[in-house]
Amino acid sequence: MGLLLVVAAVVGLVLWVPDAAPPGQAALDRPDIPTALEEGSPSASWYCAASTIGTPEPPRHEVVMTNAGAAVASVRLTPFGEGAPAGVEVVEVPAGSATSVDLAALFGVAPLSVVAESAAPALAVEHRLSDPTSADQVPCATVTSDSWWFPALNSARGSTALLTLFNPFPSDAGVDVEVVLDASARTPAELSGIVIPPRSVKVVDVGAVVQRRDVFAVVVRSRSGRVVAEATQRFDGSAAPRGLRMNIGVADTSSRWVFAGGFTGTGALETLVVVNPSTERVSAEVRVTPYGGASTAPEPIVLEIPPLRYGLVDLSAESRVPPLGYHSVTVETDDVPVAAALLATITGPPAPVDPAAQPAGTTPPAQRPALGSGVAISTGSPAAAGAWLVPALDGGSTPAPVVFVHNPFDTPTVVSVVPVDAGLDAAALAEATTEVEVPARDSVALTVPAAVTPGQPVGLRLSAMAPVVVERLVTYPEQDELAKGSAVPLRSPRSGPVGLPPLRPGG
């Protein structure tokens, strides 16, 4: 960490703090967002719930810990599940490194959920599920909640839709699972009054109850106690591209959501789903902004969503969305909180780009990774932050991982990118540290610096002069699969995420 601070000072980085928030923006505490702690914060608990994907053999379940701190991080792992041992294991994560732990190998039992606890600052904890044909990875939850929204599940042929309900506490928890369809909302008898005993995990097959639906939403509501809820969706390739989608539920709804990176085009399908949990009709404005095109962004798409229903936009079919390059997606309502999800489905490789066909003086837009299959889901971010940790990227993988940075404000900002790689000496770290300007209301796509240790998972620490939204896209070449979702904001006793600025005049 000392090296990171020296490099930041050399490049003259001015860190944003909430006392200097952008005009009209107040600091917004979002405890529901998975965040890494900074120095001086209390100990954190990370809840890694899902451990099964509906296959006869349990998937490989790994906990991935990225330590951007200056000292070794001690992480206490407590297992939960049938046959889980009573003891705990402590894993030491060296400074400036990422460590992956196979839970079945560590505890001798599978499948398992786990709670990871550590007082170490700048530590991010994720978990990964994988089998020979699919993989996905998401940050573990840092809160329990009495409600969890899942905007987009699928029970079509060849897919599974499992909810993992994790109760790490010493008393019972009881929940109802309400299903939101395009024309109705109900709580099926099979999903009513589900009891999760103390310190246990229950997996609910919602796809067996809500059958043959390409899209439906659910909300897990607690009758008593609090739980962590996580969904896993596996697609076997028989009726759609194969792959795995994992997502922690949305613990709190918001009137604004940002998805920092999206893509359509040849071989890629992209769908936005917005759920209206209120009892009134909602008008949602969806703005798709191509990277580098903030000043000429297409006209927004307007979704009219009835009470307790969802609205859907097939962005792949929208002629106003350019088929090449990346774009951001912003959802805003008239101050009515909603939940949203952006789905990506890869059906084949992208179309080749002919540089000679580009206008003179321009370069082709960055293309999405050249995968032939895969599925991913992102539930976006309701807030921006001045510092982010992008965990466990493999700089030597092909296709390479991508980091999306979106600036939601009306003035440009500068972002400093520092690798979290203990294998770099001071000179190599300085060479690998970069700065990039993100124009107002625009975005950039970054790759892992070439100087990082090849073949080793590394993190990236991003610090911005004003709050930004950061997502990452990682690939799994062995499975021809991808994972897409939010990076982890850094939080300190004095700083946290801030609210997103309005898109609409006077909003």
Sign of the Cα pseudo-torsion (140, 146, 150, 155, in order): positive
pLDDT (mean) for 25-32: 41
pLDDT (mean) for 258-262: 97
Answer yes or no: is pLDDT of 296 > 70: yes
State which H helix or E strand residue 444 sits in.
strand 443-446
Q: Mean pLDDT score of the chain, rounded to an integer? A: 87
**What local confidence, expressed as pLDDT, does residue 40 receive?**
44
Residues 6+ apart with CB under 8 A from 208: none
Cα–Cα distance for residue pair 213/459, rounded to 1 Å: 38
Cis peptide before 111 (omega within 30 of 0): yes
Cα–Cα distance for residue pair 149/137, rounded to 1 Å: 19
Identify the CA nearest to 301 among candidates 265, 271, 263: 271
Residue 1 pLDDT grade (very low, low, confident, very high; cuts 50, 70, 90)? very low
**What local confidence, expressed as pLDDT, does residue 503 receive?**
66
**What local confidence, expressed as pLDDT, does residue 354 receive?**
75
pLDDT (mean) for 258-271: 96
pLDDT (mean) for 214-236: 96
SS (H, E, C) 325-376: CCEEEEEEECCCCEEEEEEEEECCCCCCCCHHHCCCCCCCCCCCCCCCCEEE
**What local confidence, expressed as pLDDT, does residue 13 receive?**
28
**What local confidence, expressed as pLDDT, does residue 28 receive?**
33
- For the record, the structure tokens of 392 come out as 């466990």
Q: What is the pLDDT of residues 63-103, one digit of tens each?
A: 999 999 999 999 999 999 999 999 899 999 999 999 999 99
- By mean pLDDT, which of 268-272, 331-335, 349-353, 357-361 is the weakest? 357-361
Answer yes or no: is pLDDT of 364 > 80: no
DSSP assignment of 284-301, as one string? Answer: EEEEEEETT-GGGPPPPE
- For the record, the structure tokens of 84 come out as 């889980």
Q: How far is CA 263 from CA 197, 267, 269, 304, in A?
A: 42, 10, 8, 24
When comparing pLDDT for 284 and 398, which is higher?
284
Residue 496 pLDDT grade (very low, low, confident, very high; cuts 50, 70, 90)? low
Residue bearing tokens 């400036």: 96
Residues 6+ apart with CB under 8 A from 217: 149, 150, 151, 152, 153, 179, 180, 273, 275, 310, 339
Q: Are 329 and 315 in contact (CB under 8 A)?
A: yes
pLDDT (mean) for 412-440: 91
Cα–Cα distance for residue pair 101/63, rounded to 1 Å: 5
Cα–Cα distance for residue pair 389/147, rounded to 1 Å: 27
- For the record, the structure tokens of 337 come out as 């909180």
158: left (phi over 0), alpha (psi -120 to 50) or beta: left
pLDDT (mean) for 202-222: 96
**What local confidence, expressed as pLDDT, does residue 497 receive?**
60
Cα–Cα distance for residue pair 154/400, rounded to 1 Å: 28
**What local confidence, expressed as pLDDT, does residue 121 receive?**
86
Secondary structure class of 480 (helix, strand, coil): coil
Angle at 491 between CA 486 and CA 497, to 5 degrees: 60
Q: What is the pLDDT of residues 107-151, one digit of tens each?
A: 999 999 999 999 998 999 999 999 999 999 999 999 899 999 999
Burial class (CB in 10 A: 0-12, 13-18, 19+), 396: middle
State which H helix or E strand residue 206 sits in.
helix 206-209
Considering the entire predicted model, what is its pTM?
Answer: 0.90
**Percent of the chain surpassing pLDDT 70:** 88
Cα–Cα distance for residue pair 406/409, rounded to 1 Å: 9
Q: What is the pLDDT of residues 152-178, one digit of tens each?
A: 999 999 999 999 999 999 999 999 999
Report, in angstroms and rounded to the nearest whole number, the Rg of the chain calculated over CA atoms.
Answer: 21
- By mean pLDDT, which of 222-231, 257-266, 403-412, 447-456 is the weakest? 447-456
Q: How far is CA 6 from CA 40, 427, 429, in A?
A: 20, 11, 10
**What local confidence, expressed as pLDDT, does residue 33 receive?**
63
Cis peptide before 132 (omega within 30 of 0): no
Residue 468 pLDDT grade (very low, low, confident, very high; cuts 50, 70, 90)? very high
**What local confidence, expressed as pLDDT, does residue 397 receive?**
79
Residue 24 pLDDT grade (very low, low, confident, very high; cuts 50, 70, 90)? very low
**What local confidence, expressed as pLDDT, does residue 504 receive?**
57
When comparing pLDDT for 500 and 238, which is higher?
238
- For the record, the structure tokens of 162 come out as 């499992």
State which H helix or E strand residue 234 sits in.
strand 228-235
Torsion on CA atoms 150, 305, 261, 130, rounded to nearest 10: 20
pLDDT (mean) for 295-316: 95
Secondary structure class of 189 (helix, strand, coil): helix
